Amino acid sequence: MTTDQLSATFSALADPTRRAILARLSQGEVTVGELAAPFDMTLAAVSKHLRVLERAGLVTRGRDAQFRPARLDATPLAAASEWIGDYARFWEDSIGALDHYLNALQQIRITAHDKENTHG
């Protein structure tokens, strides 16, 4: 079963360890051993995370003699960011409507307070 690129990207990003790996790779390419150092996991476990990231297109692996340094490929993140950005308009509209509603309530409260002080 194949998944679309956006689904693969979000699936890869769903794991906090993989997000941490991507954050580390954003600073430059590193080996699996260097990636594994801050984590309490085996090299094999880090390699599994890297394979998920590679399948999602977020990581590429090079060849440098016997080393296979990993590097970030942020291209799929652009599509994910664009997809999320499409919902920014929804949130802006929702927040705008809430702001309008709160301003209306505040105006009603001020008007009621003024009438109370005028007639009271």
pTM over 0.75: no
71 and 32 in contact (C-beta within 8 Å)? Answer: no
104/72 same-domain check: no
- What per-residue confidence (pLDDT) applies to 119? 64
- What per-residue confidence (pLDDT) applies to 73? 95
- What per-residue confidence (pLDDT) applies to 3? 53
- What per-residue confidence (pLDDT) applies to 64? 65
Domain that holds residue 100: 87-119
- What per-residue confidence (pLDDT) applies to 2? 43
Distances (CA, A) of 71 to 43, 66, 116, 117: 17, 16, 68, 69
**pLDDT tens-place values along the chain, 120 residues long:** 345 999 999 999 999 999 999 999 999 999 888 999 988 889 999 999 999 999 999 999 877 666 789 999 999 999 899 889 888 888 888 888 888 889 888 988 888 877 777 765
| Cα–Cα distance measured from residue 102 to residue 120, given in angstroms and rounded to the nearest whole number | 26
- What per-residue confidence (pLDDT) applies to 70? 92
- Here the CATH number for the domain that contains residue 64 is 1.10.10.10
94/72 same-domain check: no
**Overall domain count for the chain:** 2
107/52 same-domain check: no
Detail the DSSP E strand segments found in 1-120.
59-61, 70-72
114/68 same-domain check: no
